[in-house]
Chain A
Amino acid sequence: MEAFTTHTGIGVPLRQSNVDTDQIIPAVYLKRITRTGFEDALFAAWRKDESFILNQAPFSAGSVLVAGPDFGTGSSREHAVWALKDYGFKAVLSSRFADIFRGNSGKQGLLAAQVAQDDIELIWKVLENDPGTEVKVDLVSKTVECGNVVAPFDIDDYTRWRLLEGLDDIGLTLQHEEDITAYEATRPSFKPKTLPAKVDAQ
């Protein structure tokens, strides 16, 4: 994973709450078996509407999405994060993220920065009054800057550390493989196994 320290890019105000992952990427795009190439799928239904924010310059070149509360609810599809990243987004700001979406973002190096709703409102105003204004997201100091607005954001320390270092989760866990093996040896015999299959499925 690429390390993340700071990013500065055009902010995109998305004045909407409960942006679910079905909106971020409709299910029809989940049939692909690749991990990249989802830029066309991002907000696919909404982008058919010419007035949608990403269809307007300079927002179409945005890289910091500033959204309403409860962003990323619904389906666990990590494709939502891939689509945001493939489009060019580096960070999403919201006052509340769905748990799975936030977890998926952390795994993929997309910064999900939790910003108080009052500050989101101030940033929205700056971005709407002066389209193209850049937002600076600083993971070291945990602050966002946009025009004259400077606001702190929340992110858990572990995810922050992993993002700053660009660490691979599986590699980190496998450093403790002996702990996993030791745990496995203690599991009771009544716990089920999928193999051998105890059914004749034909």
Chain B
Amino acid sequence: MGKTLAEKVWDAHVVRKGEGEGANAQPDLLFIDLHLVHEVTSPQAFEGLRLAGRPLRRVDLTIATEDHNTPTLDIDKPIADLTSRTQIETLRANCKEFGVRLHSLGDKEQGIVHVVGPQLGLTQPGMTVVCGDSHTSTHGAFGALAMGIGTSEVEHVMATQTLSLKPFKTMAINVEGTLRPGVTAKDIILAVIAKIGTGGGQGYVLEYRGSAIRALSMDARMTICNMSIEAGARAGMVAPDQITYDYMHGRPHAPEGADWDAAVEYWNTLHTDDDATFDVEVDLDADTLEPFVTWGTNPGQGVSLSAKVPSPEDFGDENAKAAAERALQYMGLEAGTPMKDIRVDTVFLGSCTNSRIEDLRAAADIIRGRAKDPNVRMLVVPGSARVRLEAEAEGLDKVFKEFGAEWRFAGCSMCLGMNPDQLEPGERCASTSNRNFEGRQGKGGRTHLVSPVVAAATAVRGTLSSPSDLESAPAGTLTGIAV
């Protein structure tokens, strides 16, 4: 019988098969091709190596960057927050001691770890990629098996370049059809999460398939795979194709010459066989999809932007009902309110979900020639220093600044507020990030997850809005949208 993409990548990395069968089987020992490291989840792992007197086995398969704590203003000055500064300095000292390549704040390759890996060409089809960060699933967009791990596992990978894992089940997410203008990859994944729930993917690797997925750019595929974790899945994947190869070709660490040809030959085998079966299949219709937005405090609590805030009574399950009641209270929303009547204070364009060049282009296309609602603050945080440079070369920084948005330096920023970019209590934000948890963007902050184009349209109108709500589309808009 044929194999799924996930099974092929898994099988190619088995160092040692676990003994036993079925539920009682021991885990397999898998080789890890790339280990991404950042300052938050690594200090205790480095310390563990040091205490045990163990070396870092493969520094040539390890790369670090600074992202979670880094300020997005005044990056040439010492970091004001002392605990943040200590954590960054600890990473620098650890990388120096163990010989790990590090892209520090201020260098051209610094940025959010999940933006940096792909843009350097280090993320490639068929690889196993791990990082002490749940959004490592992003790299699955290349047909890699990529997953977030905890700090104990970070230390395990550092010491052994392997992980002990039990095989996952497989779930196909079939998205057929054509997205309408203004509907994007973000809307696909928010709709998937609302459909299967925050626990729906638990124990599964998701494979995104179908004509709507095949039509997506790499930046858009990364947005989708990024939020697999929000559906409970450890990993999400898209089979590589010509779009993948075109993205890869010429990147600093992409294979060259004969190695490129050998790589492509291998990558061409990385698709689910016709006679393979998934444990579960889920279908989503791209033709009828609308811009999607969350109303609650977990990413599964989402609706179409044209819908109303649901009532707890709409949920049959007692736990879901209680969760909805609590979420509405925290969010300060009343059931029945049209989503589009909800006024926001802040718009955040950034995070490992939506901070790549196409995301910035798509948002810039919406706001170009328009005025920002004066009561809205908009923060634009490119995913990496490289993305920032690219955007500036295209003049996107000017578009954002003229609109009245703040143009910042790269990092995780307001996605999780470990740096000074945070919401005030009660402040409401339309955010292109991935988590609307209580307090995630700042204590008492209220988050609505949206796509970059919805974020942009919302900044114009001041209320949650889709691009089609804008009075007249200036010439040239809706062309470069990262669908």
The interface of chain A, by Cβ under 8 A from chain B, is 15-18, 20, 22-23, 26-28, 30-35, 45, 68-70, 73-79, 81, 96, 98-100, 103-104, 107-108, 156-158, 169-170, 172-174, 176-177, 179-180, 183-184, 187-195, 197-202
A27 and B416: CB pair below 8 A?
yes
Interchain residue pairs A-B with the least CB separation, the first 6: A107-B152, A104-B150, A78-B150, A33-B43, A190-B263, A31-B83
Partner of A179 from the list B29, B43, B149, B253 (CB cut-off 8 Å) is B29
Given contacts A107-B153, A158-B166, A198-B252, contact A74 B44 (CB under 8 A): no
- Say whether chain A's binding surface is mostly helix, strand, loop, or mixed: loop
List chain B residues, Cβ under 8 A from A197. 101
List chain A residues, Cβ under 8 A from B31. 180, 183-184, 187
Closest CB in chain A relative to B92 CB, distance in Å: 12
| 26 A–B pairs (Cβ distance < 8 Å), ordered by A | A16-B322, A17-B319, A27-B68, A30-B68, A31-B418, A33-B44, A76-B41, A76-B132, A76-B134, A77-B41, A98-B232, A99-B203, A103-B149, A104-B153, A158-B166, A170-B54, A170-B155, A170-B156, A173-B156, A173-B160, A176-B15, A176-B29, A180-B31, A183-B31, A194-B61, A201-B108
Q: How far is the CA of A17 from the CA of B323 in the complex (A)?
A: 7
Closest CB in chain B relative to A89 CB, distance in Å: 17
List chain B residues, Cβ under 8 A from A27. 68, 416-418, 440
A-B contact count (CB 8 A): 224
B202 and A96: CB pair below 8 A?
yes
For the complex with contacts A26-B439, A170-B52, A176-B29, 18 further pairs of A-B residues with Cβ separation under 8 Å are A17-B323, A20-B437, A30-B418, A31-B81, A33-B43, A35-B47, A73-B232, A76-B133, A76-B150, A156-B166, A170-B160, A177-B160, A188-B266, A189-B259, A190-B262, A192-B33, A193-B61, A199-B108
Q: How far is the CA of A34 from the CA of B69 in the complex (A)?
A: 16
A45 and B122: CB pair below 8 A?
no
Closest residue to B301 on the A side, CB-wise? Answer: A18
Given contacts A22-B438, A190-B255, contact A73 B124 (CB under 8 A): no
Within 8 Å of chain A (Cβ to Cβ): is B161? Answer: yes
Given contacts A33-B86, A170-B155, contact A99 B232 (CB under 8 A): yes
Closest CB in chain B relative to A193 CB, distance in Å: 4
List chain A residues, Cβ under 8 A from B122. 192, 194
Q: How far is the CA of A136 from the CA of B448 in the complex (A)?
A: 41
Closest CB in chain A relative to B41 CB, distance in Å: 7
A179 and B252: CB pair below 8 A?
no
Q: Residue-by-residue, is B132-144 near A (CB-CB < 8 Å gives 1, otherwise 0)?
A: 1110000000000
List chain A residues, Cβ under 8 A from B124. 191-192
Partner of B134 from the list A74, A79, A193 (CB cut-off 8 Å) is A74
Given contacts A73-B198, A76-B148, A180-B162, contact A100 B322 (CB under 8 A): no
Within 8 Å of chain A (Cβ to Cβ): is B107? Answer: yes
Q: How far is the CA of A31 from the CA of B134 in the complex (A)?
A: 17
Within 8 Å of chain A (Cβ to Cβ): is B217? Answer: no
Closest residue to B262 on the A side, CB-wise? Answer: A190
Closest residue to B149 on the A side, CB-wise? Answer: A76
List chain B residues, Cβ under 8 A from A103. 149-150, 153
B298 and A18: CB pair below 8 A?
yes
Q: How far is the CA of A189 from the CA of B87 in the complex (A)?
A: 35
